[in-house]
Structure 1
Amino acid sequence: MLHAVIIELDYQKKYREHILEEYQVIEDRNARLGEYVSLDKRYTKLLIVKEHWQREEKEHEIITRGRKHAELMAHQTSLTTVSVLFDPDRNRESPRTVVLLGAAGIGKTMTARKIMLDWAAGKLYQKKFDYVFYINCRKINLVTAQQSMADLLLNNFPDGVRPTKEIFEKPEKLLFIIDGFDELNSVLSMEEVSLWSDPFEKKPVKTVLCSLLRKEVLQKSFLLITSRPTALEKLKQNLKFPCYAEIRGFSGDDRKEYFHKFFGDEKKATQAFNFVKENEMLFTMCFVPIVCWIICTVMKQQMERKEDLAQTSKTTTSVYLLFLTSLLTDHFTDSVQQSKTTLWKLCSLAADGILERKILFEEGDLKKHNLSLSTIHTLFLNKSIFQKDTECESVYSFIHLSFQEFFAALFYVLEEDEKTMKKSLSSKKDVNIRFLFGLLNKERLNDMEKKLHCKTSSAIKLDLLKWALRNCLNQLELFHCLYESQEEEFAKSAMDNFQEIRLEHIRLSTMDEIALSFCVKNCCSKQSLYLCNCTLGIGEREEGWIAKLRKWLFPLEPHCWCTLGSLLHHRHCPKAGLIHKPRCQWLQFCSV
């Protein structure tokens, strides 16, 4: 018996050493440099909020916006850390399933990889879990052969080593990290899948994953599942008694720390951070790690070229476009035509992938779009080796899903045949609408023609707006689209379609406030604004709430400031028709 324990401990040690080696470095996705950096040295702490909500509480709003009911946000949320996600909470036992939600590029995968690294290094969950396994949903999409639970975990082990039977004898000491649930191709429906409980029995991979999620196999094991909020409805149908947490991105101090880690040079980091901090929109956008990384990458390149940092833009679309033009300029200094051709092929690949709900591409997909492997690998696509059936196969993906969405939107802006755009919009919301609005900005179009030498057309802009209004794009999402466009006259024509702006049960982020402010400024004088049970930030006090309203929502004519004062200090203002009900935080603003 003692001999078996010693062997198992030795097995654990070797497994930890392998995980440590596999996860200690990450590829710096600045393809121009092609560097590998230490995950520990680059990773920056993220804000994580643990949610306590009941299923009947406005789930449709959670799904469509990725935000929770305002009252829950104000009273039932608290900042938490990865280390306590599986601790008992209130009168509840330790949750065995934790869902870590977050928007695109917010740091879900990086957090998952950091958990793997910290556990292997002995810094996290030491007494709780003997083994932590990482399951990549993106790679699962390519698995066609039947597999067992043990087969599914092979990527976690060194070559030639397989999970042993002893590992599964203590399921309560196992943690499975299922990363990117929203990237699964198949819809996991309870009616379609027959569950099973033997971790060594081979079944279709869909059955294996469903059985793990629904605790049919390894019932006492622990799960940490990362996903975009858009997949929440599908996910919760497959879970038993989950606990939810949400990654909110970087705080202000965390952003500063990230800049210093990225640049590795005190003077340059301070210069770049101070410039970004002075631009409130740009600084706000840096709460999303992927955007923060892009901004740092672009600014680092601008510093190396001794260019003016003021070129860095203030919308997500313009930042992505600046990053694109910067890399293309570096790689195709001698061939404008090669740059245009490569861009078109990438955009075509991205658009096909979005329409087919495909995020992993095989070499045949690349050849179909005439992409050169040697060229594109150093630009915007990641390459990974994947075991498919009995052979190894190379697969490719865009460096982030948001990049694929950006390139797909760009495909329709560059497309000379406008019927292509209309055909796409007449189907479902396959294309990222915010990127489309942003790319149709006159300055962006000029930049593309000047720097990328591509022909573009803004003729589809009105068609895009009509489509957005006709397909019931919610108001807040439309405001973000209009903000991305950065064209006031266009925003005014769009806002004329509304007699009132009504937002209910929403926690408005700073970017929400910026987008709302932009649209309110472009309303006509007869429109109304209703905010019901909305909060700004986490646990915002009333005075802070009011200050933000003054700053963001009412940059209007001077007489409106008096109206705002009446609103905040009196229950009723007959002149302007304003009502303030403190208990439900209902605000009604009518321009006078």
Structure 2
Amino acid sequence: MSKRKGGDDNCQFSVQLQKRRNSTARQEGDGEREHDDISCVGETDDMEDSAFDNKLLMADSKSSESAIMAQTGPLQPTITETGPLQSTITAHTGGVAVLPQLHSCHIEGSVNINVSTCSAPVLKSESNGVQESSASSTTTNTDIKTLSEKQKLKLKKKFQRIVEGVTKKGTSTLLNDIYTKLYIIQGEREGINQEHEVLDLDSVSKSQTSEDISIKLNDIFKCLPDENEDFRVVLTKGIAGIGKTVSVHKFLLDWAEEKANQDVDLMIVLPFRDLNTMIEDDEGYSLQELLEEFCSELKDVKDPKTYENCSILFIFDGLDESRLPLDFHKNKRVSKVTKKCSVDELITNLIQSDRLLPSARIWITSRPAAIHKVSNWTQTTHRLTEIQGFSNPQKEEYFRKKITDPILADRVISHIKTSRSLYIMCHIPVFCWISATVFSIPNILDTAREKIPTSLTSMYTRFLLHQMQKKDEKYYGKHNMVSLSEKDMKIILKLGKLAFENLEKQNLVFSESDLSKHDIDVTDASIQSGVFTEIFKEEDPIIRDKWYSFIHLTIQEYLAAFYVSIRLHLKDFSHFQ
């Protein structure tokens, strides 16, 4: 007698015998049927092993199916005139099933015994009138839908407004009101120098041609008409300030507002600059733990298989800011969301399509020079896209949205068009923002033409001076457009040193201890200079201390260059050895 303990799932035994016409048996409600000689034990439901000893029933040619029912429970051999005899025995969770025994039988043909487990709904006996279903798939779908709704509400609240300037004190604007469509192409344009981002602005600005395959932001994962399937991994490159991060925010907002990509259940943003702060955690993370750090609503996920059963899009913004080694070759293989390992191992296994959550989609944004960080990216990445920035009509559209005074907007646009270099550089959205800020200074367009900024450096310099002016007006009632106080120069040089030394380390996020090393007092700088509050923004902490960064990477690069130029002017080379 063979026994099998039922596990978490239902266990089902099927016995098939080739029917032999032997004798007749009458069953209630049926006509005459032929029956085989069999010996079997029927269905069990959480019964003790000893209870089976007396359940063996010999069914010979004179036995009836009703007798089997009386002694063994709901075993119902299914017999047809032409098909095989088939008997099914089911053991519920915790139950024991006893395989049928065959003896003294005359069987023509073969005997097949199949054992299978499943999670199918189980019906209780009809005597109590209760029908119970595990409904595991329904429950999972409900949980995923609830998670999706929670995340959409959170992302909508987080990204529906954009802050240009200081996070807390800056003026926020509805993203949908200020967002201007960017020109995105598939692949990369040949002949563009990937190592220098400014010298080729002219060629980039003029090179939007009919040969480009343009892609809408919300369609970056969708295949083109001549392609067979959608993409799993997309790498989007673009120079600093071209709009990569804002594009990510708009993509998320459109999903949260249910305007696009509703085939995705969850969208999870993992900025590399935030991942950098987790490198030193010795204990490591499982993927589930890492996701809970970034998305608190995912703490409601009790079953790790939920991540396998839903459609997820991971967004890794700012590959160029990453300090992770991203060692695809040496990192060990990880395939379970509950397995603890280093953050670097989690990221590389997510990106590779045959490892961790292979059905999940991946979007990576990067500056051109950092593409090499994704090992063998031409193989790992299924689609490469490039953000080209604003077209000429989009430049004007942005200024009219940003500058609410239509007369001033017309004057700014006219002035920019008179300067070829300015007009070319304005295909970079962050430069448009800085230009709009500078040209909105009262009466600046009425000054002598030679004093109006016409280059990248002069525009950033005037932007910096504008922050000084705002500080002086707010705290001291002063109005000075050109000169800097000694105190201002000291804080700018401190910030410049911080910017320069950390650019060398590829460090773009700073803790309060990092600032203290450079003799920068957050509170003092915020009150006394204004530069710090305007040029720095406080990062959202991930259960850690406060973190700070410059409001844009180009601001950090400008201050680093300013610091270097001052030191070279003073012939102080000690910092560059």
Q: TM-score normalised to the size of structure 1?
A: 0.64
Q: 2:522 is matched with which residue?
A: 373
CA distance in 2 between partners of 1:62 and 1:280 (Å)? 21
> 335, 345, 348: which is aligned to 1:197?
335
Q: Please state if 1:340 is matched with 2:489.
A: yes
Q: Deviations over 1:346-367 (max 9, x none)?
A: 1111111122221111101111
Q: 1:409 is matched with which residue?
A: 561
> 199, 213, 223: which is aligned to 1:78?
213
Asked if the contact 1:211–1:217 (Cα under 8 Å) also holds between the matched residues in 2, the reply is yes
* 1:287 partner SS: coil
Change (3 A) 1:111 1:421: farther
CA distance in 1 between partners of 2:286 and 2:413 (Å)? 49
State the Cα distance separating 1:279 from its structure 2 match: 2.2
State the Cα distance separating 1:88 from its structure 2 match: 1.8
CA distance in 2 between partners of 1:78 and 1:4 (Å)? 40
CA distance in 1 between partners of 2:288 and 2:247 (Å)? 24
> 283, 286, 289: which is aligned to 1:151?
289
CA distance in 2 between partners of 1:217 and 1:418 (Å)? 54
Equivalent position amino acid for 1:408 in 2: A
> 218, 230, 238: which is aligned to 2:369?
230
Q: 1:119 is matched with which residue?
A: 255
Asked if the contact 2:163–2:170 (Cα under 8 Å) also holds between the matched residues in 1, the reply is yes
Q: 1:382 is matched with which residue?
A: 537
CA distance in 2 between partners of 1:365 and 1:218 (Å)? 37
Asked if the contact 1:255–1:286 (Cα under 8 Å) also holds between the matched residues in 2, the reply is yes
> 290, 296, 310: which is aligned to 2:436?
296
Equivalent position amino acid for 1:64 in 2: E
Asked if the contact 1:106–1:290 (Cα under 8 Å) also holds between the matched residues in 2, the reply is yes
> 176, 188, 196: which is aligned to 2:314?
176
State the Cα distance separating 1:125 from its structure 2 match: 0.5
From the CA coordinates, give the structure whose radius of gyration is larger: 2
State the Cα distance separating 1:94 from its structure 2 match: 1.3
Q: 1:16 is matched with which residue?
A: 152
Change (3 A) 1:354 1:331: same
**RMSD (Å), alpha carbons:** 3.0
* 1:177 partner SS: strand
Range 271-280 or range 318-327, more displaced: 271-280
> 345, 359, 363: which is aligned to 2:508?
359
Q: 1:254 is matched with which residue?
A: 394
Change (3 A) 1:81 1:6: same
State the Cα distance separating 1:155 from its structure 2 match: 5.3
Residues 440-479 of structure 1: pairs in structure 2 closer than 5 A: none
Change (3 A) 1:305 1:34: farther
CA distance in 2 between partners of 1:304 and 1:38 (Å)? 27
> 220, 245, 252: which is aligned to 2:385?
245
* 2:213 partner SS: strand
Q: 1:110 is matched with which residue?
A: 246
Range 113-122 or range 349-358, more displaced: 349-358
Q: 1:523 is matched with which residue?
A: none
Equivalent position amino acid for 2:519 in 1: N
Higher helix share: 1
CA distance in 2 between partners of 1:217 and 1:306 (Å)? 60
Residues 497-512 of structure 1: pairs in structure 2 closer than 5 A: none
Asked if the contact 1:50–1:77 (Cα under 8 Å) also holds between the matched residues in 2, the reply is yes
State the Cα distance separating 1:377 from its structure 2 match: 4.3
CA distance in 2 between partners of 1:118 and 1:227 (Å)? 21
Q: Deviations over 1:164-217 (max 9, x none)?
A: 53541235x211111001111133222331121112222110111111111321
Instruction: Name stretches of at least 5 consecutive residues in structure 1 with no aligned partner.
Output: 427-592
Asked if the contact 1:52–1:76 (Cα under 8 Å) also holds between the matched residues in 2, the reply is no
| Alignment coverage as a number of residue pairs | 414
Q: Deviations over 1:248-304 (max 9, x none)?
A: 011111111111111123222222222222322212111001111000001112448
Q: TM-score normalised to the size of structure 2?
A: 0.66
Q: 2:550 is matched with which residue?
A: 398
Instruction: Name stretches of at least 5 consecutive residues in structure 2 with no aligned partner.
Output: 1-134, 477-483
Range 345-354 or range 32-41, more displaced: 32-41
Q: 1:562 is matched with which residue?
A: none
CA distance in 1 between partners of 2:487 and 2:300 (Å)? 46
CA distance in 2 between partners of 1:241 and 1:76 (Å)? 22
Q: 2:498 is matched with which residue?
A: 349
Residues 52-71 of structure 1: pairs in structure 2 closer than 5 A: 63-64=194-195
* 2:329 partner SS: coil
CA distance in 2 between partners of 1:411 and 1:48 (Å)? 35
> 352, 355, 362: which is aligned to 1:214?
352
Equivalent position amino acid for 1:381 in 2: F
CA distance in 2 between partners of 1:411 and 1:181 (Å)? 26
Residues 415-430 of structure 1: pairs in structure 2 closer than 5 A: 415=567, 420-421=572-573, 424=576
State the Cα distance separating 1:65 from its structure 2 match: 5.1
Change (3 A) 1:31 1:109: closer
Q: Please state if 1:133 is matched with 2:268.
A: yes
Q: 2:141 is matched with which residue?
A: 5
Change (3 A) 1:119 1:166: farther
CA distance in 1 between partners of 2:569 and 2:387 (Å)? 40
Asked if the contact 2:147–2:298 (Cα under 8 Å) also holds between the matched residues in 1, the reply is no
CA distance in 2 between partners of 1:337 and 1:130 (Å)? 55
Change (3 A) 1:317 1:109: same
